[in-house]
Amino acid sequence: MTKRALITGITGQDGFHLAELLKSKNYEIFGVIRGQQNPKKIIVENDLPYVNLIEADLTDTSSLNKAIKDSKPDEVYNLAAISHVGYSFKIPNLVAQVTGVGVLNLLESIRQSGRQEKIRFYQASTSEMFGGLDYNRPGKGYDENALFHPRSPYGAAKLYAHWITKNYRESYGIHASCGILFNHEGPRRGLEFVTRKISNAVARIHLGKQDHIELGNLEPKRDWGFAGDYVEGMWLMLQQEKPDDYVLATGETHSIKDFLELAFKEIGINDWKPYVRQNKAFLRPAEVDILLGNPSKAEKILGWKRKIDFPELVKIMVENDITIEKNKKD
Ligand code: GDD
């Protein structure tokens, strides 16, 4: 029988990759779209024509109730959030409502739908919940048992969402799993995130469209993987008999300088420094200095492993942006 999936955050990078994956598995897919005249709607309609769009908002319970009623999902993937860490310092209350309490709203809609035992739920938890401090397992990386210490309104809201998901699993028996995903990137990443900002700028510098890039702190390290690999892990979590929480990561960490080094090498530039300027506007009130994940549990239980490594990821992103920028007039 064809399975039905409801995806919130369908307009984002992960929504795109997950829809492609579920389509290849013959799912009937429903995507939640929000906002009056959302400019991303047309992109989803073009790129994912097989997705049935439903208008709803994580902060509006009646619209969520309707989304669950109309889609009758077997699986719900909550990928929606205000997800930019730096921006979350500017609108902390809204982030708490959408990224945190919004998840409670969705879980309540599932619980009250009369079909809660038929629905499996995935929550997009994040390595930002660890915060880079309490780096208690040096060399091994954060696993599912590491201490949480969020360093932003975004991280704090995601931690609430993480715990309320676990709470609904324990209290009401909902098949709810949290994927604690470390940074995952790719050609579909938004231009406001550092990897795509760099790959796009490098492409434009290569084509003579700009001569430098302005960035914030170049020292932080991240465990960067490819988003296409990570959605496979999300799906695997919901195929398990028992719900649980899993870290998805590469087990490697690299600095922003490392990313710059490889990205500029793709266009034949060995010294990136003359092309990079610091702009204080991109610094954050509190920084997460280092993230390194330990995906052993997911590898062992789900049989999940990332396929694309760091140099390949940088290459894919730069090549993609060169193609896009070549075809774009500006
Ligand atoms: N965005 C951005 N822009 N970040 C910059 C810049 C810049 O100009 N310059 C330096 N950085 C640094 C940030 O300070 C941060 O240390 C690092 O680059 C990565 O920033 P982002 O790419 O914005 O990602 P993030 O790590 O803060 O958060 C992403 O990953 C999380 C998973 O760990 C987001 O996708 C989150 O939603 C996700 O949960």
CATH number at residue 28: 3.40.50.720
Cα-to-centroid distance, 62 and ligand 1 (Å): 33
Q: Mutation test of ligand 1: which of 84, 189, 193 has the most ligand atoms closer than 8 Å to its C-beta?
A: 193
Is 211 a domain residue? yes
174 class by beta-carbon count within 10 Å (0-12 exposed, 13-18 middle, 19+ buried): buried
Would you please indicate which residues are annotated as catalytic (active-site) residues? 126, 128, 154
- Residues 122 and 216 placed together within one structural domain of the fold: no
Percent of the chain as helix, strand, coil, to the nearest 5: 45, 15, 40
Reported confidence tier of residue 135, pLDDT bands at 50, 70, 90: low
Q: Which atom of ligand 1 is nearest to the CA of 284?
A: 14
Cβ of 240 less than 6 Å from ligand 1: no
- Mean per-residue pLDDT for 308-327? 98
Position 26 scores a pLDDT of: 98
Q: Mutation test of ligand 1: which of 17, 191, 194 has the most ligand atoms closer than 8 Å to its C-beta?
A: 194
User: Rounded distance, CA 106 to CA 185, Å?
Assistant: 26
- Residues 168 and 286 placed together within one structural domain of the fold: no
Looking at the structure of the chain, the number of domains it has is 2
Phi, psi of 32 (to 5 degrees): -85, 125
Helix (H, G, I), strand (E, B), or coil: what is residue 2?
coil
Which residues, at least 6 apart from 95, have a Cβ–Cβ distance to it below 8 Å?
82, 88, 153, 154, 157
- Residues 96 and 199 placed together within one structural domain of the fold: no
Position 193 scores a pLDDT of: 98
Cα-to-centroid distance, 284 and ligand 1 (Å): 10
Contact 263, 198 (CB under 8 A): yes
Cα-to-centroid distance, 50 and ligand 1 (Å): 31
Position 134 scores a pLDDT of: 62
Position 229 scores a pLDDT of: 98
Contact 79, 7 (CB under 8 A): yes
DSSP secondary structure string, 267-328?
TT-S--GGGEEE-GGG--SS---B--B--HHIIIII-----S-HHHHHHHHHHHHHHHHHT-
Position 113 scores a pLDDT of: 97
- Mean per-residue pLDDT for 155-166? 98
**Domain containing 263 — which CATH number?**
3.90.25.10
Q: Which atom of ligand 1 is nearest to the CA of 289?
A: 16
Is 197 a domain residue? yes
Is 39 a domain residue? yes
Is 297 a domain residue? no
* Residues present in the chain in total: 330
Cα-to-centroid distance, 271 and ligand 1 (Å): 23
- Mean per-residue pLDDT for 27-46? 94
Cα-to-centroid distance, 8 and ligand 1 (Å): 22
| Res. 85: pLDDT tops 60 | yes
Q: Which atom of ligand 1 is nearest to the CA of 283?
A: 14
Taking the alpha carbons at both ends of the chain, their separation in whole angstroms is 48
- Residues 57 and 20 placed together within one structural domain of the fold: yes
- Residues 178 and 218 placed together within one structural domain of the fold: no
- Residues 82 and 138 placed together within one structural domain of the fold: yes
For residue 265, the enclosing domain spans: 191-222+253-291+309-326
- Mean per-residue pLDDT for 99-118? 97
Cβ of 193 less than 6 Å from ligand 1: yes
- Mean per-residue pLDDT for 207-228? 98
| Res. 11: pLDDT tops 60 | yes
Cβ of 190 less than 6 Å from ligand 1: no
Cβ of 182 less than 6 Å from ligand 1: yes
Reported confidence tier of residue 217, pLDDT bands at 50, 70, 90: very high
Going 110 to 238 to 153 to 190, the CA torsion angle's sign is negative
Position 313 scores a pLDDT of: 98
Position 35 scores a pLDDT of: 84
Reported confidence tier of residue 140, pLDDT bands at 50, 70, 90: confident
Is 301 a domain residue? no
- Residues 136 and 174 placed together within one structural domain of the fold: yes
User: Rounded distance, CA 8 to CA 58, Å?
Assistant: 9
- Which residue's C-alpha comes closest to atom 12 of ligand 1? 217
User: Rounded distance, CA 230 to CA 125, Å?
Assistant: 12
Is 304 a domain residue? no
Cβ of 215 less than 6 Å from ligand 1: yes
- Residues 15 and 107 placed together within one structural domain of the fold: yes
Cα-to-centroid distance, 305 and ligand 1 (Å): 23
- Residues 174 and 216 placed together within one structural domain of the fold: no
Would you tell me the crossing angle of helices 102-111 and 61-71 to the nearest 10 degrees?
50
Is 299 a domain residue? no
SS3 for 131-196 is CCCCCCCCCCCECCCCCCCCCCHHHHHHHHHHHHHHHHHHHHCCEEEEEEECCEECCCCCCCCHHH
Contact 214, 279 (CB under 8 A): yes
Is 15 a domain residue? yes
Position 178 scores a pLDDT of: 98
Reported confidence tier of residue 7, pLDDT bands at 50, 70, 90: very high
- Residues 97 and 205 placed together within one structural domain of the fold: no
Q: Mutation test of ligand 1: which of 162, 183, 248, 258 has the most ligand atoms closer than 8 Å to its C-beta?
A: 183
Position 329 scores a pLDDT of: 86
| Res. 136: pLDDT tops 60 | no
Phi, psi of 280 (to 5 degrees): -60, -20
- Residues 150 and 210 placed together within one structural domain of the fold: no
- Mean per-residue pLDDT for 206-222? 97
Cβ of 282 less than 6 Å from ligand 1: yes
- Mean per-residue pLDDT for 149-174? 98
- Residues 102 and 240 placed together within one structural domain of the fold: yes
